[in-house]
Amino acid sequence: MKLKYSLLILISLLVFPSSGYAGDLTDAVVKVFVTRNSYDYYRPWQSRGVSTTTGSGSVISGNRILTNAHVAADQTFIQVRKNSDPRKYTARLEAIGHDCDLAILRVDDPEFFEGVDPIELGDLPTLQSTVVVLGYPQGGDKLSITEGVVSRVELTAYSQSARQLLAVQIDAAINPGNSGGPVIRDGKMVGVAMQVLNSGQNIGYMIPVPIIEHFFEDLKDKKFDGFPFLGIEYHTTENPTLRKYHKMERNDGGVIVTRTLPYSPADNILQEND
């Protein structure tokens, strides 16, 4: 399936809107510099070559940095830089969840965190609430902040994994380089900037707090197990001819299994035409 979304892999005005107030969080929003060596998944013995990209991240509790998985994927070397400090600090990848497009970075140098207050998690924002997006998009080197409104909360295909997970649509400008940056409301993080819809204008998506909290909870045992999935392909049962073929009653509903994925929870449990 070809997704319509664009990962903000090239992962830089400073205004503090009142309704989605960002407060003094600027030093807690960092620019992430990633050197990566990607491989061809169809020919895994063949490297696509070394490249350098940038993204954004947030300092959170425990001297950790939260960013996107697609920012840190295939990394060989990572550095981070605070907004008010020209120095770059070496970071390492501590955990990554490709299905939810989240990653945790760790900086071992304690000096990096001096004077930085971690950003706290907020709640799932309501429709029409105002939020601000902080990050380092292309076109400049300094921190950028844009304002937008929450327009939709629903299951959305994450470009990094094609998984359908909860996401929040906002109309704030999200550009290449914003990936991994925090989305703020009332001084707290309510999401992580993730992707944009290529066919629209100012249609961006963020990973909401419930997904972030699930990611954190999963990591408490030092291992990321991922989000559960059923592991089937299916047809809906709206087609009258299909319903007649399967002898469905007028009020019958559900889906018809067309395939189970190998090694998935449904493998050897569900079968075709169940």
The neighbouring-strand residues paired with 170 are 150, 204
Locate 124 and state its tokens: 């799932």
Residue closest to 75 by CA, chosen among 108, 43, 98: 98
Closest to 150 measured CA to CA, from 198, 212, 68, 205: 205
Give whole-number Cα distances, 270 to 7, 126, 231, 232, 273, in Å: 34, 38, 10, 8, 9
**Residue 251 DSSP class:** T
Told to judge if 252 belongs to the known catalytic residues of this protein, a careful annotator would answer no
Catalytic residue selected from 56, 101, 144, 171: 101
- Which residues, in sequence order, are CB contacts of 168 under 8 Å at separation 6+? 124, 125, 150, 152, 153, 183, 190, 191, 205, 206, 208
Contact predicate 237/256, CB 8 Å: yes
Which entry of 56, 58, 70, 159 is annotated as an active-site residue?
70
Residue 101 designated active-site: yes
Active centre residues (catalytic): 70, 101, 179
